[in-house]
Structure 1
Amino acid sequence: MNNDWSKLKRSSNGIPTYDSLIPYILEVIKNGEEATNVVIKKRVCEYLNVPQHILEKKYPNYPDSESILHNRFSFAFSDLSKANAIDRVRRGVYKINSNGEFLLDKYGDQLTKKVLEERPEYMQYMNELKLRNERTGGATIESVEDNDKPKIEIGSLVQTINNEVAIELLDIVRGSDPIFFEKLVVDLLVAMGYSGENGEAKVTNQSNDGGIDGIINQDPLGTSTVYIQAKRYKEDNVVGRSAIQAFYGALAGVNADRGVFITTSRYTKNAKEFAKNQGIVLIDGIQLTDLMLKYRVGVEVAHQYTVFKIDGDYFEE
């Protein structure tokens, strides 16, 4: 492994590009320990003997922000995560996994963004992001280095950032405990207002749920009730017609005509057609996390910005 920062690919301002940092992140955590992003950045800079003037250089228009080099690490972390080369143990803490060990062993300091982009995990991530952007109007852009400013609508860019958060959120939900997932979907429907002003929401008893995972009584007397089934599945475990038919049978068993089926994966065409004919609402993984963001279940606001426009009425007066 090269340990001379000056041999790395650099942008016009002399700062190493973010993709040149990719193999070194894996190198400094290859022992398998968990480390914060701050510690990892420090180790990489020490490993490469990056001089102080490079560490301190900032964008001229943003003198109060973090240095250019430290900012570029975030893009490298992001690409490694997309390729499933590192695990995000918790906020700001990372650990190399078996995929990362394989890539580091095979490519060493020749590990590039192009190699990561060819990984099936990376391609799956980008396909899901594309699908989300098509549904919501987001726009995909490449990372910006130096002072390049992409000509892109701010709203579309914000939507893309939120879509990336939603992808990470869905991955966390898929890895959660099944009982917790059932509670999550009930909490979401309550946040959406399904329980009404004086209604009641609960997760059913696991040992005798009869195919019903959650119940929301929309009024104190229970005259209007929503029944829920929640399936925490991996992406490739697609929900078929038989599962929806079984849920329909469970609804018939309690004389119900309102059901919501929620999964972290997706549905077959036949499942969608059957559900539509029986009045069952289907929510897939993408819709689930979009709703979690909209109703702020499991997420919090990171930043808010205000954009102004001219008040024409004021000047006409």
Structure 2
Amino acid sequence: MKQGQFEQLYQPLWHVMELEIIELEKPDGRLKGSELASFASRYRRLCHFHALAKDRHYSSHLVDKLGDLVVRGHQQLYRRKQPFMQQFTSFIVAGFPRLVREQQRYVWWATALLYVPGLLMFLAILWQPDLVYTVTAPEQVSSFESMYDPENRTLGSARESDTNVQMFGFYISNNISVAFRTFASGIVFGIGSIFFLVYNGLLMGAVAGHLTNAEFTQTFFTFVVGHGSFELTAICIAGAAGLKLGYALLAPGNLTRKESLKRASLVAIQLVYGVIIMLVIAAFIEAFWSSNNILMPWQKYLVGGFLWTLVIGYLVFSGRSLRGERGQG
């Protein structure tokens, strides 16, 4: 993109930022609550524009102007830091879903690496049941059969509340450990993230295929349909964060690998913050809803469908401005 096009497209944003910074630099300067809440996200975009201008070797006048705004904006951002709960709410409502959309290239790759192998393994095991043992050990297969065998479940009853609480803690620990491995292993040029995404997809497909062959579909799918929306989506986003780290090392561009990794990690860590929140929600649903045997299957599927719609709608629409989002150049 030529400099003229770049300025025409994005100058309105940094002009607004300049006016806000000038206002904040006044002794009694202040912004409205909504303006202050979105100041951090606009500042991140300003930093992105400054980095683009430097990388594309635009005129020194433009680079210096954006650099000056970045420095002044940084001073105001940290001098007038929002209360923690306000920052947290802003991140959940707008910052995280907006960041996921900005990094959607990595999210789509991670999603494909999880679901495509899973679907292929599922279909393969429907055709050749013994293939399940290429992914899982026989004792693990037996454990899954016992867990989802309808005859081993007492219909019309629910677990004790203290058991639910214990399982809630277990699911949080287990889910976050899986997500962290998927993310952190991306530092090995993305290979680790690819491995864990593919492996978890194969395992997911193997279990689903085997239990389908065993005709345990109702107990299995009614259990996973609720929390799966948050858990599986979070694993994909964790994988996307890992892939971003790997790509920063493989293709640093004009930056050193260290600087490229540093910039990528600032984004990746924010994605992981959102992943942790999603996994806590998934663990709560899994412990207190998915395990409930009192509910009818159609009720589980109805709520599961609603939760999938909620997660997708949240990531696609939450945090968008009324005028819509524009590309990042």
Larger % of strand: which? 1
Larger % of helix: which? 2
TM-score (norm 1): 0.29
Larger RCO (CA under 8 A, 6+ residues apart)? 2
